[in-house]
A and B are shown apart, each in its own frame.
Chain A
């Protein structure tokens, strides 16, 4: 479906994406990476809005931006660029007309699409009066109204309240159930995990890893996790943890705080209460390492430097998740 051949995109001296080599088969993928990691650049390369500085991209067998591939593609950008003084119906109808539909067909399809996303009551109102969630729904409607084979969404959950997130998530799961392809970018792991099990992890413009959620998690099993403890007796606590062989290393952060690196965090959490009680050590706080995407990417980046993994590095086509 999509093929990247050693693609690099430069913005002057700044690297947008760096030597991406990847083949995606039809399916659903989550494109994960922190802000500024190159997700939008990657999506813009797929939609043909950007041209690669090096390498080549093929979308459905054609160059990106080719009319025939654009006909089969739906795109939902990350920003809310919609005209405030036109209604949702007018906007979606207009975009369908640009797509090549006659006015009457475009209007009918726009109505159906807006109804599908729950905008039946508001479609005649100017977009300027829409809430964030309504705008996202309208964006989703314009991207799917022409029944594309591949839907590309850039940060669709940004700024949405929990109900909006749930609704958009449901729509996307429905989309995948129809057997359609999807690429969704996000910097929030669990939101994407709830929609698809296939990930592309991008950071600093590099594709760090790709594969299923299990594959990605398995990459992290051997990576020591950090636990930060604030205590009245840091030296004594450190000695106990090392003597019990619970940790691989200790770092002093401040006079009353240490950070322990361990491959067995659960074991530490189970034994710690008994140990501090036994030695009468007061622990005022315990904090596990940040489990966010950022720390995962830092870890993956360290691994990448060691050239230890990556399906991308093996140049195997990646199969997306499907609920068919």
Chain B
């Protein structure tokens, strides 16, 4: 082998090879995603918040800006992004096992970790793009009725990205932990953890992503919090603290998922 970039070239750092392989996986998965069913799902996901916002805009009473913010927050980072990741992230490993492609990938150097990260980035990119597209149209529709549409867009756009990256990491971990039931577990967690525990006016809600996203929304849009019960749903902590906790959770989930996928056995159903 005479290639300057041969994998046996000792001069080439291992990390560089791995990073290049992750990008290759992202590119390959993105290319595979360009199918009609996948694009139709993407459009459907991006358009469902638009439909609901349109109903409010044209047929309902005009809500105050805070209600718009809360509604868009629940519709896009907290619903649409979760749905997208349930479809594209949670079954990431099972789809390879079902398609019997896993052994081809797993016998490449660091192949398991590379595919884990590549598929994660792909799911995050698709979800975040759908979220941002949806948010852009929603803000465009609702902007005549809200104050500071620019701030609203900027805040929610950051939350869309954080939601995609955060929930993506969590669902990636579910996918590695229990590949066969990953989507089911992710749905269960979303309902029980994020929707139920996350909205409890108690300290336990702080373990959820939703709590921190909600607090960031409050901090950045400058919500006026009224009743004491409502106050318990938020925290007075500065934004950087919430961001640090979110980052810690993401890194933690990814490190745990990456470690598990390296050490665990995943075999094809009909192996002898």
Q: A residues engaging B (CB < 8 A)?
A: 35-41, 44, 47-51, 67-68, 70-71, 73, 75, 77, 79-83, 85-86, 90, 94-95, 97-103, 105-106, 109, 142, 146-147
Contacts and interface: CB of A to CB of B under 8 A. Distances in A.
Contact of B107 (A47, A51, A81): A47
A60 to B, nearest CB: 13
Interface of B: 1, 3, 5-8, 12, 14, 17-18, 20-21, 24-25, 28, 31-32, 35, 99-111, 114-115, 265-268, 270-272
A35 B268 CA distance: 16
Nearest to A106: B24
Contact of A98 (B31, B102, B114): B114
A77 B20 contact: no
Given A49-B106, A50-B265, A98-B105, 6 more contacts: A37-B272, A44-B267, A73-B107, A77-B103, A100-B20, A105-B3
B263 to A, nearest CB: 8
Contacts of A77: 100, 103-104, 268
Contact of B20 (A40, A50, A97): A97
Nearest to B268: A79
Nearest to B29: A94
A167 B272 CA distance: 26
A105 B108 contact: no
Nearest to B107: A75
B103 A47 contact: yes
Contacts of B18: 100
A99 B7 contact: yes
A102 B7 CA distance: 9
A296 B108 CA distance: 37
Contact of B104 (A41, A71, A81, A100): A81
Contacts, number: 113
B7 A100 contact: yes
Nearest to A97: B24
Contacts of B8: 71
Contacts of B110: 67
A99 B32 contact: no
Given A81-B99, A83-B32, A85-B32, A103 B272 contact: no
B25 A98 contact: yes
Nearest to A9: B265
B5 A105 contact: yes
B14 A67 contact: yes
Nearest to B100: A81
Contact of B115 (A50, A98, A103, A147): A98
17 contacts: A39-B272, A44-B271, A47-B103, A48-B106, A49-B267, A68-B109, A79-B268, A80-B100, A83-B32, A85-B32, A86-B31, A95-B104, A97-B24, A97-B28, A100-B7, A100-B18, A102-B5
The 4 A-B residue pairs whose C-beta atoms are closest, nearest first, are A81-B100, A97-B24, A100-B7, A67-B109
Contacts of A67: 14, 109-110
Contacts of B28: 86, 90, 94, 97
Contacts of B35: 85
Contacts of B106: 47-49
A50 B17 CA distance: 25
Contacts of B32: 83, 85-86
Contacts of B268: 77, 79, 81
Given A71-B8, A83-B32, A147 B1 contact: yes
Nearest to B105: A98
A97 to B, nearest CB: 4
B9 to A, nearest CB: 9
Contact of B24 (A35, A48, A86, A98): A98
B265 A95 contact: no
A86 B104 CA distance: 15
Contacts of B107: 47-49, 70, 73, 75
Contacts of B272: 35-41
Contacts of A41: 271-272
Nearest to B115: A98
Contacts of B270: 79
A34 B208 CA distance: 52
B21 A98 contact: yes
B8 to A, nearest CB: 7
Contacts of B267: 44, 49-50
Nearest to B25: A98
Contacts of A79: 100, 268, 270
A75 B107 CA distance: 7
A170 to B, nearest CB: 23
A71 B21 CA distance: 14
B109 A71 contact: yes
Contacts of B103: 44, 47, 49, 75, 77, 81
Nearest to A148: B107
Determine which residue in A67, A75, A105, A146 has the highest number of CB atoms from chain B within 10 A of its CB, and name it. Answer: A67
A94 B111 contact: no
Q: Which of A38, A47, A79 has the most CB of B within 10 A?
A: A79
B24 A94 contact: yes
A213 to B, nearest CB: 24
Nearest to A185: B272
A180 to B, nearest CB: 13
Contact of B7 (A49, A71, A80, A86): A71
Contacts of A50: 265, 267
